[in-house]
Amino acid sequence: MLTPEQIETRLERILSSVQKPARYVGGEVNSVVKDWDSVSTRVALIFPDIYDIGVSNVGLKILYDQINQRHDALAERAYSVWTDMEAKMREQGIPLYALESKRPLGGFDILGFSLPYETLYTNTLNILDLAGIPLRSADRDETQPLVIAGGHACTNPEPMHAFIDAFVIGEGEEVIHEIIDAVQARQSQSATRADLLLALAKIPGVYVPRFYKTHYMDDGTVSHMETLADNLPATIVKRIVGKLPPPPTKFIVPNIEVVHNRASVEIMRGCTRGCRFCQAGMITRPVRERSVDDIVEAAAQAIRSSGFEELALLSLSSSDFTYVVELVNKISEKFKGQKLTISLPSLRIESVSIDLMDKLREHYSGGFTLAPEAASERMRRTINKFIPDEDILNTTREIYRRGWTTIKLYFMIGHPSETIEDVQAIVNLCKRVIAEGRKAAGMKVKLNVGVGTLVPKPQTPFQWVSVDTRESILAKQQLLKDGLRDRSLKLSWTRPDDTLLEAWLARGDRRTAEVIHAAWKRGAKFDAWEESRKHEIWMSAFAECGLDPAFYTHRTRRTDEIFAWDHIATAVRKNFLFQDFRQSLEGKIRVDCRQNCYACGILPTFSNLRREHPGGGWKCPDVKSPAKVSHPLSVIRGQIPVSGD
Amino acid sequence: MRIRIGFSKQGALRYTGHLDLHNLWERAVRRAALPLEYSQGYHPQPKIQFASALPLGFASCAEVMDLWLKEERGLEACRAGLQAALPDGIQILAIEQVDERAPALQTQVVAAEYKITVPAEFASGLNEKAAALMLAASLPRERRGKTYDLRPLVESLCLSPLPLEDEAGVLIFLRLASREGATGRPEEVLDQMGIPADPVRIERTRLIFQG
């Protein structure tokens, strides 16, 4: 294995001839360089896209802090390298290395991948290959690092089961320490890799695919999952923290401009709105809020230690944060007179949102983004995001009137049972927004319209829904393009190829792993980026594996189908999701669950945790019953499978 | 208060370009909690000026910049605060207060000196190539579609074997004109001498100012 000095010498020769070489050298303020020999466990945290995107990822930042606070472990970082750098590294025989120590990834004890979305899968394989580590878990020997992954995409881990040794399901703040402890126990007992994996499989929230086997029915759907070792749970329940730990405040400050040059504070985790298309809203429950004082203090520390000119207050739905008005008041007071942009994304379409933005005005530039998602009443009921036209028009008119010239509206097409009239409603609504805006503020008003296509994600009420067909998507997009021709209007959309790829990967099963491997061998990488040959590569990969992509995306699913991800429990019960799906078909709305608990399954699973953290931090009702001794797994298991109708 | 800072740029920071360096200093000043002055207008810009842009990949032990603070501060406190806030690779070498009305730094630069480390494999015949270059009456070259004469921009060129025992190769010491519209580039000189840019290391060692 090359030494850091050898790697640096070889890098010297190539860095002047690649784009943005600062991506590959580290040396940022707030990066942590520990003495390699002073710790027993070394972890490389990897975001499998380029530095420009990965460096500001908050999830990895949390883990970086958690691990580096230990005296017996260190965490470093690695990212995908862009194609020009990859070519040079392969030519010079430089393996992928971590930025802090310049050590090859193969020299670490643990490689931890962040997989927030599915289009990073081929990049993950490419990183392992560039690091000289066998792609398949089964091919790794005693000397190779443990390869783990976490993030939202891991709520269906099966497409990556062949490449990842262990998945973390849910929140990683606590479980990462248990994993490091298990690795250290193996080192001190000189146990084998197999022993370690078995030990990991027994940690709640850790899924080790090799101890599970999928059995299929004749029609290709899953029959059942077999457990291959004793005392392992049949269902892996996600981990959560009862109280959000103090947020990271020492953000890495890149020495080049990246996508998000900012410090951020997560103000709240989870969402109570229950939009049926939204995977994040389903899998990050329950809602837990931070206190206003904690947020303001963390924000001040983060800005002080980074010097960033932007602060983002992050959550899935900022307007729903209980003390959002107080928070905005305190934040604008705290940073009064400072050159600082403050962003508060994911605001609801209501007048209070404009008041909030007005308060941040001194610190705000740029446009206003709102997400109605659908424009007809029927679709709004279907997706459980019901915002009447009048509210949208009143809000956008008021935004223009108060001097913002650009508004961005997000919509989605491909909702279940959507017709061409529902898409026409998007056109009509956007035209009214512009017309009303012009009346209020003149011809300078601008409207950017982003229209995505629904990918029915696992672990959501829409997991039974099939993806819209390519022909239908194209027809709907054409309608939008024809209807939204206006000099004040800018339309953007997702290419059907990208939607289909995301859906194949999101809804895949264990056989999808072979397709991913085949596509990577054919050159697939950076699947989240625009690339013209992508579709062709993936179609060939499916053909090579003898699989029909439509099986994953365009099949009507039986109501009692066992999904490839059913053994992964986000604690939101499958029959809750199914009832919600039924309600969607009936056009029934479920209001914010802060007002009315619908018994999604979070409380029975985490009743003990809720009991330990009573009161307003969680937005679920308090648990009054005495502590139960029964294992939460039994609760989950008792409630699936769903019977047909 | 206008402060002039001499600093080095080494290691990982060689790969941070001129515009990014601007942001880097702005953030460092903010981390050091110094009251940076901003320009007036709709898009206020921090008042930070560099004497001369350093090309990406070059090291330097001779960069010079001015920055303006809204309030008076002790120079030593500024130096200590900024140094603690800067990433490894940027070292403050000198700091002084200058007259607010002194001319802009970039108008005062007349020349720059560079030390170029050439690996042994490209070192043969360098003496002859250097002599040919210096003896030429003119060296017409094309850069970005424009023709220009490189020769008058090369003020001096010396060769010396690498002093280190374990590393063979040659050092080139160059002094190039660096005026507005007449800036010599070390990589153009290397190309003229038939030395590829990738394997050499270039360090700016001095900026020469008027007067």
CB pairs under 8 A between A and B: 74
Contact call for B12 and A13, based on CB within 8 A: no
Percent of chain A surpassing pLDDT 90: 87
SS3 at position A244 = coil
Q: Which residues of B touch A24 (CB under 8 A)?
A: 15
Sort A625 into a burial class: Cβ within 10 Å, 0-12 / 13-18 / 19+.
exposed
Q: How far is A352 from chain B (nearest CA, A)?
A: 28
Contacts made by residues A352-361, CB under 8 angstroms, sequence distance 24+: A352/A319, A352/A325, A353/A319, A353/A395, A354/A395, A354/A398, A354/A399, A354/A402, A355/A325, A356/A318, A356/A319, A356/A324, A356/A325, A356/A328, A357/A399, A357/A404, A358/A402, A359/A328, A359/A329, A359/A332, A360/A328, A360/A331, A360/A332
Is the ipTM here above 0.90? yes
What radius of gyration do chain B's Cα atoms show? 19
Residue A641: its pLDDT value, please?
40
Residue type, A590: R
Domain chopping of chain A, boundaries: 4-235, 570-638
pLDDT-based confidence at residue A365 (cuts at 50, 70, 90): low
Chain B positions touching chain A (beta carbons under 8 Å): 11-13, 15-17, 19-20, 23-24, 26-31, 33, 38, 44, 56-57, 85-89, 197-199, 201
| Nearest CB partner across the interface for B31, out of A26, A27, A307 | A307
Query: Is the pLDDT reported for residue B15 higher than 60?
Result: yes
Residue A352: its pLDDT value, please?
74
Could you report the per-residue pLDDT of A300-313, keeping only the tens digit for each?
Answer: 999 999 999 999 99
Interface test with B, best of A28, A52, A55, A256 (most B CBs within 10 A): A256
Q: How far is A340 from chain B (nearest CA, A)?
A: 11
Contact call for B20 and A306, based on CB within 8 A: no
What radius of gyration do chain A's Cα atoms show? 25
Could you report the per-residue pLDDT of A12-67, keeping only the tens digit for each?
Answer: 989 989 999 999 999 999 999 999 999 999 999 999 999 999 999 999 999 999 99
Contact call for A27 and B87, based on CB within 8 A: yes
CATH topology for B2-106 is Alpha-Beta Plaits (3.30.70)
Contact call for A307 and B12, based on CB within 8 A: no
Q: Which residues of A touch B185 (CB under 8 A)?
A: none
Residue A138: its pLDDT value, please?
97
Could you report the per-residue pLDDT of A621-643, keeping only the tens digit for each?
Answer: 998 877 665 554 444 443 444 43
**Mean pLDDT in residue range A282-292:** 97
**How far apart, in Å, are the Cα atoms of A423 and each of A305, A375, A418, A447, A481?**
47, 8, 8, 17, 11
Contact call for B13 and A27, based on CB within 8 A: yes
Q: Distance (Å, rounded) from C-alpha A596 to C-alpha A272?
A: 10
pLDDT-based confidence at residue A349 (cuts at 50, 70, 90): confident
- Which residue in chain A is spatially nearest to B83 when comparing CA positions? A29
Residue A635: its pLDDT value, please?
42
The phi, psi pair for B160, rounded to 5°, reads -155, 140
Q: Which residues of A touch B201 (CB under 8 A)?
A: 12
Q: How far is B131 from chain A (nearest CA, A)?
A: 27
Q: Which of A237, A313, A227 is nearest to A268 (CA)?
A: A313
**Encoded tokens for A74:** 């260190």
Residue A123: its pLDDT value, please?
97
**Mean pLDDT in residue range B73-96:** 97
Residues in contact with A37: Cβ distance below 8 Å, sequence separation at least 6, in sequence order: none
Contact call for B56 and A16, based on CB within 8 A: yes
Question: CA A528, A531, A536, A537 torsion: positive or negative?
Answer: negative
Q: Which residues of B touch A307 (CB under 8 A)?
A: 26-31, 85
| Nearest CB partner across the interface for A13, out of B26, B44, B199 | B199
Q: How far is B25 from chain A (nearest CA, A)?
A: 10
Contact call for B31 and A257, based on CB within 8 A: no
Residue A473: its pLDDT value, please?
98
Percent of chain B surpassing pLDDT 70: 98
Sort A7 into a burial class: Cβ within 10 Å, 0-12 / 13-18 / 19+.
buried
Q: Distance (Å, rounded) from C-alpha A390 to C-alpha A388?
A: 5
Q: Which of A59, A294, A204, A195 is nearest to A568 (CA)?
A: A204
Residues in contact with A324: Cβ distance below 8 Å, sequence separation at least 6, in sequence order: A318, A356
Is the distance from CB of A43 to CB of A112 less than 8 angstroms?
yes
Residues in contact with A208: Cβ distance below 8 Å, sequence separation at least 6, in sequence order: A165, A166, A167, A197, A198, A200, A201
**Encoded tokens for A359:** 């308060």
Domain chopping of chain B, boundaries: 2-106, 109-209
Q: Which of A251, A247, A256 is nearest to A51 (CA)?
A: A256
Residue A611: its pLDDT value, please?
94
Residue type, A23: R
Please give the torsion angle defined by the CA atoms of residues A516, A517, A518 and A521, in that order, rounded to the nearest 10 degrees. Answer: 120
Q: Distance (Å, rounded) from C-alpha A142 to C-alpha A193?
A: 6
Q: Distance (Å, rounded) from C-alpha B51 to C-alpha B109?
A: 7
- Which residue in chain A is spatially nearest to B58 when comparing CA positions? A16
What is residue B51's DSSP assignment?
A: S
**Mean pLDDT in residue range A209-224:** 97
The phi, psi pair for B55, rounded to 5°, reads -60, 150
Q: Distance (Å, rounded) from C-alpha A480 to C-alpha A281?
A: 28
How much is the mean pLDDT over chain A? 93
Percent of chain B surpassing pLDDT 90: 84
Residues in contact with B122: Cβ distance below 8 Å, sequence separation at least 6, in sequence order: B195, B196, B199, B200
Contact call for A307 and B57, based on CB within 8 A: no
Contact call for A255 and B57, based on CB within 8 A: no
| Nearest CB partner across the interface for B24, out of A25, A255, A303 | A255
Partners of A313 in the beta sheet? Answer: A265
Contact call for B87 and A307, based on CB within 8 A: no
| Nearest CB partner across the interface for A257, out of B20, B33, B44 | B20
SS3 at position A505 = helix
Residue B169: its pLDDT value, please?
86
Contact call for A28 and B87, based on CB within 8 A: yes
Is the distance from CB of A43 to CB of A75 less than 8 angstroms?
yes
SS3 at position A266 = strand
Partners of B174 in the beta sheet? Answer: B114, B157
Q: Which of A251, A256, A15, A263 is nearest to B22 (CA)?
A: A256
Residues in contact with A229: Cβ distance below 8 Å, sequence separation at least 6, in sequence order: A198, A201, A211
Residue A634: its pLDDT value, please?
42
**How far apart, in Å, are the Cα atoms of A313 and each of A89, A333, A367?**
38, 15, 16
Q: Which residues of B touch A21 (CB under 8 A)?
A: 15, 56-57
Query: Is the pLDDT reported for residue B154 higher than 80?
Result: yes
Same fold, B2-106 and B109-209: yes
Could you report the per-residue pLDDT of B117-146, keeping only the tens digit for each?
Answer: 998 888 888 999 999 999 999 999 998 899
Could you report the per-residue pLDDT of A495-526, keeping only the tens digit for each?
Answer: 999 999 999 999 999 999 999 999 999 999 99
Is the distance from CB of B184 to CB of B52 less than 8 angstroms?
no
Partners of A79 in the beta sheet? Answer: A47
Q: Which residues of B touch A27 (CB under 8 A)?
A: 11-13, 87-89
pLDDT-based confidence at residue A367 (cuts at 50, 70, 90): confident
Q: Distance (Å, rounded) from C-alpha A398 to C-alpha A385?
A: 21
- Which residue in chain A is spatially nearest to B56 when comparing CA positions? A16
**Mean pLDDT in residue range A405-430:** 96
Q: How far is A178 from chain B (nearest CA, A)?
A: 33
Q: Distance (Å, rounded) from C-alpha A53 to C-alpha B100?
A: 41
Q: Which of A623, A509, A534, A578 is nearest to A156 (CA)?
A: A509
Lowest-pLDDT choice from A430-444, A599-613, B118-132: B118-132
Chain A positions touching chain B (beta carbons under 8 Å): 12-17, 21-22, 24-29, 253, 255-257, 261, 303-309, 339
Q: How far is A489 from chain B (nearest CA, A)?
A: 26
| Nearest CB partner across the interface for A305, out of B16, B19, B31 | B31
The angle at the Cα of A81, spanning A78 to A86, to the nearest 5 degrees, equals 130
- Which residue in chain B is spatially nearest to A308 when comparing CA positions? B27
Q: What is the secondary structure of A371-418 as a DSSP string?
A: EEE--SHHHHHHHT----HHHHHHHHHHHHHTT--EEEEEEEE--TT-
Q: Distance (Å, rounded) from C-alpha A590 to C-alpha A597?
A: 10
Q: Which residues of A touch B119 (CB under 8 A)?
A: none
Could you report the per-residue pLDDT of A88-105, keeping only the tens digit for each?
Answer: 999 999 999 999 999 999
Query: Is the pLDDT reported for residue A126 higher than 60?
Result: yes
- Which residue in chain A is spatially nearest to B27 when comparing CA positions? A307
Could you report the per-residue pLDDT of A546-578, keeping only the tens digit for each?
Answer: 999 999 999 989 999 999 999 999 999 999 999
Specify the CATH number of the domain B109-209: 3.30.70
Interface test with A, best of B9, B19, B27 (most A CBs within 10 A): B27
Residue A628: its pLDDT value, please?
61
Residue B165: its pLDDT value, please?
62
